[in-house]
Amino acid sequence: MSFRGKLGIFFLLVVVVPLASVAFVLFRMVDDNETGKADARLASNQAVAVNLTRDLRVEADRIAEQVIGDPRIGAALRSGDERALTVRLRALRASTGATRITVERDRATVADTGGDRAVFPTFRRLVDGDGRRQGTLGVSVADAQEFAGDLSLIHISEPTRPY
């Protein structure tokens, strides 16, 4: 092999192969960095969704306590007057801002006010003064479309790049 051929192979081994290796490693690092950023954005968005869900349930708990403490609800449950129960639940739903309030007894819905798209309900056992179970109260303060809209407003996006 001539000196020129040996010099070409030497150049290829000393310059081109290491340069290609370094370029591969750099591109791989950039890709990993972008993946890490995407993962961080997803984690941030997930944390926002979890916190929003928690806030909605806290609000639903607060409203459930109001409903449980309402004397007309207790009277309607004890007497079995489903119409009076439904009327009072509608009034409470309107005054508290709840999306849906339901009462179930023996796995059957006794009263249901509000929309079918309600999400993240909180549930409470309803008991009378003697400790007898009167049913289960369900309260929700958001519907699915509203929740998705709230998340889209809070969405944490990638900052724009100037290129």
Cβ contact 77:103 at 8 Å: yes
Q: Distance between CA atoms of 135 and 108, rounded to whole angstroms?
A: 9
Mean pLDDT of 53-80: 92
Q: Residue ranges per domain, the chain?
A: 3-47, 57-149
Mean pLDDT of 39-56: 86
pLDDT band of residue 163 (cuts 50, 70, 90) is very low
Confidence (pLDDT) at 157: 53
pLDDT band of residue 66 (cuts 50, 70, 90) is very high
Question: H/E element holding 30?
Answer: helix 17-68
pLDDT digit string, tens, across residues 85-129: 999 999 999 999 999 999 999 888 999 998 889 999 999 998 877
Mean pLDDT of 55-79: 92
Helix, strand, coil shares of the chain, percent, nearest 5, are 60, 20, 20
Mean pLDDT of 11-34: 83
15 backbone dihedrals φ, ψ, rounded to 5°:
-110, -55
Judged by DSSP in three states, 7 sits in helix
Indicate the angle between helix axes 144-154 and 17-68, nearest 10 degrees.
140
Confidence (pLDDT) at 155: 54
pLDDT band of residue 156 (cuts 50, 70, 90) is low
Q: Would the pTM count as exceeding 0.75?
A: no
Share of the chain above pLDDT 90, in %: 39
